[in-house]
Amino acid sequence: MNLYHNSENSNMDRFSKSFPVTGLIDALMLLLAWAYLHITHSLTVQKDAFMLIATIISVFAYLCLLYARNIWSSHIVFTIYAITLTLRSLLLCLPMMINQPINIWLFSFFIPIILIQLIMTPEKTKGGYAFIAIIICFLIFFHPNFLTASHTLWKPQIAQMIYVFTLLTQAGVFLGAYVQDPNPSFIRIPSGAQPAVTGKTLTSGEMALALGLTMRVGRMMLESGAASFRTEQAMQRVAAALGVGRMETYLTPNGIVGSAYSGQEHRTQVARISRLSVAMNRVTALENYTHHLAPDTHPEEIRQFLSNLEGEGAAYSKMVYVFAAGTACGALAVVLGGGIWEIIAAGVGAGISQMLRIKLTEMRMNPFLLTTLCSSLATAVCLLLVVVIHPVHPKAAIAASVLFLVPGVPLVTSIVDLSRLDILPGVNRGMLALMLFIGIAIGMLVILGLTGYNLF
Amino acid sequence: MQITDAIILWLVGFIVTLGFAVLFNVPKKALMSVSVIGAFGLLLRGVMKADGVILELATLCGSLFIGLAGFWQARRINTPRLVFTITGIIAMVPGVPAYEMLLYFRNYDVLQGMQSGFKVALITGAIAGGLSLARALTELEWRTVEEHADD
């Protein structure tokens, strides 16, 4: 069962409806870009010609399809439109492919643009279009001029201008579809059980059971590192499936307050969260399960599922985690300027420290203390290896060896929460990340202070 | 940037993302696509940075790419998007400046420490901005703030 499935026919109908506006904006934007560059004499003759052809193709395709959309089937119209867009992108890339340098800006942005177009494209035409897009990406990426581009022919500001126009064009395509149709096909509509409309009211006991299960789902998701809004949505889905009329939740990373309302009754529970980890497999399982919950699911069924999930062990064996931490930190040492010996020093330090981290996590140690201890061990092992093998850039190795402890998930989730106006969870997670960073720094400072090694 | 540098950067991005994906317990079926997406995101950022684009804008574009590609893969493999986005951007997270800030403060080098701190804030903001932009482009519910039911 596909979670994000949209009906193919309605997709095409929507496209047919929204096409006049999107196509017009698309063509006009390109025309505007060409006119600007032509009037200001910013292009060489050859590039001017390429851009003009691209513009003409866009306008022509728009006019043709405007006429033909009532005669041909929507599939054909869409395919032609997609091919036109591709052809246009190709034409704008062509100056580079015939061995002329060009500013890299433009091409860096073609990849996201192609992806946007890919997402918009309905399933049936996606294969062919994706193939063309991948070939274009391939040609751009492996072209000898790609990485040694000079700014001689396209002045940087002109390339920026074209980029802005191209991006605006794509925004116009989006906007056009959005103006015409509030639910365009490329935007995913939230799925899952909707709040109960059966009018059934739960008894006090049933509500306590339903609320307890809902809180348990929320707790498990937050413990696995899910963002607040995602947890809230999952809890709403579970509550709806259990027949709760209305569910209000207030989430912080270390506690949930939830109230269930049904008829005249209401109940409130508070759940405390103490464990903090990142377990994507658990989030995935819970998300998929709650998306597919049928209305009026029996509570026992959900309880059984949650118990099974809690009983499941880690996704990988311990040695895999150790190896993963080692290789990741080794690779990061390369970014910081290290060579093979730095990779080995950082990797071994991180790997041994990860072993300690697994042990301490099993003992349920306080996360700040755990981070400090692991950071100390990683630094110590790495420093020992650095002293023994004398690599060229010892600082790169030491700096990389503790990077597997960096709380990247709380750091980014914090900003995501803040941008959703979930201020309290956002600030909470931000402070958590800061505390963990302080833990890493203290762990390093202890070892560096004891040995007298100066990192700077 | 030479082609060999680009290949090395891609490999680094791939290995780092793969390693952290394992540490984050990403399901096996999503491991490969997560790593490839993360690698291309890091490569995009590196290439733009090498061409003289400021780091924050390059990071924004990299994470926008990861957000969009993650959306596509999430639909394909039928997995929540956060598996791809949060794991994909991990190679771009400014880990070294973050604890460097505290080490500088310890050495009473406040100016350097503040510089590192602002670097962390800006880059993290750029990452989250790119992911949010990708979401706003592709999901209806992210365009507006949810209306809270009141009675």
- From first to last of the 456 residues of chain A, give the pLDDT tens digit: 333 334 444 555 555 555 666 666 666 766 766 676 666 665 566 666 766 777 777 777 777 777 766 666 666 666 666 666 666 666 665 555 454 444 444 554 455 555 555 555 555 455 555 555 556 555 555 555 544 444 344 444 455 455 455 555 555 555 544 444 444 444 444 444 455 455 567 788 888 888 999 999 999 998 888 888 888 888 988 888 888 888 888 888 888 999 988 877 888 999 988 777 888 888 889 988 888 888 778 888 889 999 998 888 778 888 999 999 999 999 999 888 888 888 999 999 999 999 999 999 888 888 899 999 999 999 999 999 988 888 888 888 888 999 999 888 888 888 888 887 888 888 988 999 999 999 999 999 899 888 877 776
| Residues in A touching B75 (Cβ below 8 Å) | 4, 188
CA A387 from centre of chain: 40
b or e along B31-54 (b: 16 or more beta carbons within 10 Å of the residue's beta carbon)?
A: bebbbbbbbbbbbbbbbbbbbebe
Q: Cβ distance B75 to B86 under 8 Å?
A: no
Tell me how many degrees the CA angle B116-B59-A421 measures, rounded to the nearest 5: 85
Q: Find the domain containing A409 and state its range.
A: 318-451
Please check whether residue A130 lies inside any domain of the structure.
Answer: yes
- The whole-angstrom separation of Cα A236 and Cα A196 is 11
Number of domains in chain A: 3
For residues A440 and A297, membership in a common domain is answered with no
Q: Are A339 and A277 within one domain?
A: no
Same domain (yes/no): A348, A442: yes
The answer to whether B13 and B40 are in contact (CB under 8 A) is yes
Q: Read off the pLDDT band of B55 (50, 70, 90).
A: confident
Burial of A199 (0-12, 13-18, 19+ CB in 10 A): exposed
Hey, is the C-beta of A264 within 8 angstroms of any chain B C-beta? no
HSE, CB side, 13 Å, CA atoms: give it for residue A145. Answer: 21
For the question of an ipTM over 0.85, the answer is yes
Q: Which residue has the tokens 């959900």?
A: A302
Instruction: Please provide residue A235's backbone torsions phi and psi, each rounded to the nearest 5 degrees.
Output: -65, -40
Residues A42 and A90 placed together within one structural domain of the fold: yes
- Prediction pTM value: 0.70
Sequence-distant (6+) residues with CB within 8 A of A407 are A432, A433, A436, A437
Which chain A residues are Cβ-neighbours of B110 within 8 angstroms? none
CA atoms within 13 A on the CB side of B90: 35
Q: How close A210 gets to chain B, by Cα (Å)?
A: 21
Going by C-beta distance under 8 Å and a sequence separation of 6 or more, which residues neighbour residue A141? none
Judge if A155 and A14 occupy the same domain: yes
Residue where the block lists tokens 């060229």: A392
- The average confidence (pLDDT) of chain B is 83
Taking contacts as CB-CB distances below 8 angstroms, the residues of chain B near A261 are none
Rounded distance between C-alpha atoms, residue B106 and residue B37, angstroms: 37
User: Of A256, A291, A311, which residue sits at a domain end?
Assistant: A311
Q: Do A280 and B28 touch (CB under 8 A)?
A: no
**Strand blocks (E) in A85-182:** none
Rounded Cα–Cα distance for residues A5 and A72 (Å): 25
Domain check: are A138 and A158 in the same one? yes
Residues of chain A in contact with residue B125, where contact means CB-CB under 8 angstroms, are: 415
Tokens encoding A91: 């034409």
Query: Residues 36 to 65 of B: which have CB under 8 A from any A CB?
Result: 40, 44, 47-48, 50-51, 53, 61, 64-65
Task: Report yes or no: A410 and A428 within 8 Å, Cβ to Cβ.
Answer: no
Residues forming beta bridges with residue A250, ordered by sequence position: A257
Q: Which of B81, B82, B132, B135 is the mutation pick for testing A, counting most A CBs within 10 A?
A: B82
Name residues 347-406 of chain A within 8 A of B (Cβ).
399-400, 402-404, 406
Q: Measure B29 CA to nearest chain A CA, in Å.
A: 10
Shared domain check, A162 and A283: no
Same domain, A291 and A367: no
CB A268 within 8 A of CB A246: no
In-domain check, residue A195 = no
C-beta atoms of B102 and A399 within 8 A: no
Quick one: which of A344, A317, A322 has its CA closest to A331?
A: A344
Same domain? For A25 and A76 the reply is yes
- For residue B93, the chain A residues in CB contact (below 8 A) are 406, 408, 411-412
User: What end-to-end distance do the CA atoms of chain B give, in Å?
Assistant: 60
pLDDT above 90: percentage of residues in chain B: 26
d(C-alpha B68, C-alpha A61), whole Å: 27
Neighbours of A180 (CB within 10 A): 16
A264 belongs to a structural domain: yes
Q: Are residues A346 and A282 in the same domain?
A: no
Instruction: Indicate if A267 and A331 belong to the same structural domain.
Output: no
The arrangement of strands across the sheet holding A265-272 comes to A246-252, A255-262, A265-272
Q: What are the structural domain ranges in chain B?
A: 3-142
Rg, chain A, Cα only: 28
> Which residue is listed with tokens 């009141």?
B150
Closest CA to A280 of B66, B30, B71: B30
B-chain CB neighbours of A416 within 8 Å are: 128, 131-132
Tell me, yes or no, whether A40 and A146 share the same domain. yes
Q: Which residues pair with A248 in a beta bridge?
A: A259
Strand partners, A259: A248, A268
